[in-house]
Amino acid sequence: MQDIARTVAVLATGGTIAGTAARATDNIGYSAAQLGVRALVDAVPALAEVPLVTEQVAQLDSKDMDFAVWEALAARVAHHLAKPDVAGVVITHGTDTLEETAYLLQRLLAPTKPVVMCAAMRPATALLRDGPQNLLDAVTLARQPGARGVMAALSGTVHSAFDVRKVHSYRVDAFGSGDAGVLARIEEGEVRRLREWPAGEPLGLELAGRTDWPWVEIVTSHAGARPDGVRALAAAGVRGLVVAGTGNGSLHHALEDALVEAQKAGVTVWRSTRCLDGPVQMKPGDRLPSAGTLTPVQARIELMLQLMRA
Ligand code: ASP
């Protein structure tokens, strides 16, 4: 019972969950990031019974996520997690870059309490809005005894920060966990866990006030790929490149030659795959290292963090 009485910190950053449209039938022509955190909470009557603290950390469409918001968010999450009366943190966020923020926070903080990302595919004005149920589920998970790590709670499904990815541009059930499979389900306020909570060691990197986020770009291998883009990036001072290769990280020969040239010139180059699921497995003769099971956007964040630590 004691756990159930504990506080959840709800940190808002914007997104469609806080979006509004002129008509209830309009699911795409809305403006994201319009409603404040209190309005989101007040739309869920069941939350009136739960001790919450709320904070508006940012108010943006997550397609525009940037390093300053990440720094502020990481600091506020750490601040709330450190309070003994806080059971967990919920972050309302846009769906577009949710997987990036989730991965970043997990790697930075590796929290021993739950940090639950929450979003919506329909604006708050929609006939069939998904935000309120997702928020209620996220708060439920944030108060779940024993839960830990950064997760996302969407459409009754819980994904680990290590696996979550947006897999659909429109469907309400828009997220997947790839090969790993979902972490848990939330049904009628009950969390049904299917595998272990996300765990790890915090990186111990201090982001506050950092102006030196390394420049890392993602390039894609495809038919007719040209070397020019990679050469231009290297000449412009890029520090790292993640290439989304075909299949098992294979690369068009023209692109691969340019990437190997960039690597020789001091750019860190990692190979991932443009396939939705699956790792890049190294084999004899490979000239560029694999990003393992990381998706291209996760690999980009991992590479930025590693370059910051170097
Ligand atoms: N563009 C919106 C965002 O990421 C999409 C969403 O939240 O579903 O903020």
- The pLDDT-based confidence of 1 (bands split at 50, 70, 90) is very low
Q: What's the pLDDT band for 285 if we cut at 50, 70, 90? A: very high
Residue among 17, 35, 63, 134 to mutate when testing ligand 1 (max atoms within 8 A of CB): 63
* Cβ neighbours for 116, distance < 8 A, ≥ 6 positions apart: 88, 89, 90, 91, 138, 139, 141, 142, 150, 151, 152, 153
Closest ligand 1 atom to 120 CA? 8
How far is 246 from 244, CA to CA, in rounded Å?
7
**pLDDT the model gives residue 150:** 98
pLDDT of 5 above 60: no
Query: How high is the pLDDT of residue 209?
Result: 82
What token pair was written down for 83? 């309070």
**Closest ligand 1 atom to Cα of 60:** 9
pLDDT at residue 110, as a whole number: 98
- Asked whether residue 4 carries a pLDDT value surpassing 90, the answer given is no
- In this prediction, residue 208 carries a pLDDT of 81
Confidence of residue 41 (pLDDT cuts 50, 70, 90): very high
Whether the pLDDT of residue 276 is over 90: the answer is yes
Residue 29: pLDDT above 90? Answer: yes
CB atoms within 10 A of CB 87: 25
- For residue 125, how many C-alpha atoms fall within 13 Å in the half-sphere facing its CB? 17
Q: Does residue 246 have an active-site annotation? A: no
Which of 190-194, 205-209, 287-291 has the weakest average pLDDT? Answer: 205-209
pLDDT at 192: 98
Q: Domains in the chain and their CATH numbers?
A: 4-193 (3.40.50.1170), 216-309 (3.40.50.40)
Which residue from 93, 95, 130, 170 has its CB within 8 A of the most atoms of ligand 1, so it is best to mutate? 95
The whole-angstrom separation of Cα 95 and Cα 117 is 10
Give the model's confidence band at 2: pLDDT under 50 very low, under 70 low, under 90 confident, else very high. Answer: very low
- Mean per-residue pLDDT, 93-115: 98
Distance of CA 105 to the CA centre of its chain: 8
- φ/ψ of residue 45, rounded to 5: -55, -35
Mean pLDDT, rounded, for 32-38: 98
> Which amino acid appears at position 181 of this protein?
G
Percentage of the chain modeled with pLDDT above 70: 98
Pairing of strands 86-92, 7-14: parallel
Catalytic residue among 7, 16, 101, 295: 16
Q: How far is it, in rounded angstroms, from Cα 182 to Cα 190?
A: 15
Q: Is it the case that residue 173 has pLDDT exceeding 70?
A: yes
H helix or E strand, kind and range, residue 67 = helix 67-81
Q: Any idea what DSSP says for residue 196?
A: P
Please check the confidence at residue 267 and state whether its pLDDT lies above 90. yes
Residue 43, both tokens: 């739309």
For the residues 217-239, what does the mean pLDDT come to? 98
pLDDT tens digits, 231-265: 999 999 999 999 999 999 999 999 999 999 999 99
Q: Averaged over 146-171, what is the pLDDT?
A: 98
CA atoms within 13 A on the CB side of 17: 36
Averaged pLDDT for residues 162-175: 98
Residue count of the chain, please give it: 310
What ligand 1 atom has the least distance to the C-alpha of 63? 4
One-letter amino acid identity for 287? R
Per residue in 114-151, pLDDT (tens digit) is 999 999 999 999 999 999 999 999 999 999 999 999 99
How many A from CA of 186 to the centre of ligand 1?
Answer: 22
The DSSP secondary-structure symbol of 179 reads G
Rounded to an integer, the average pLDDT of 177-191 is 98
Own/partner pairs, 184-190, CB within 8 angstroms, 24+ separation: 184/141, 184/151, 184/157, 184/158, 185/156, 185/157, 185/158, 186/137, 186/140, 186/141, 186/153, 186/156, 186/157, 186/158, 187/156, 189/136, 189/140
Q: What is the mean pLDDT of residues 57-86?
A: 97
pLDDT given at position 161: 98
pLDDT confidence bin for 25, thresholds 50/70/90: very high
Q: Under 8 Å CB-to-CB from 205, ≥6 apart: which residues? A: 108, 305, 308, 309
Res 204: pLDDT = 86
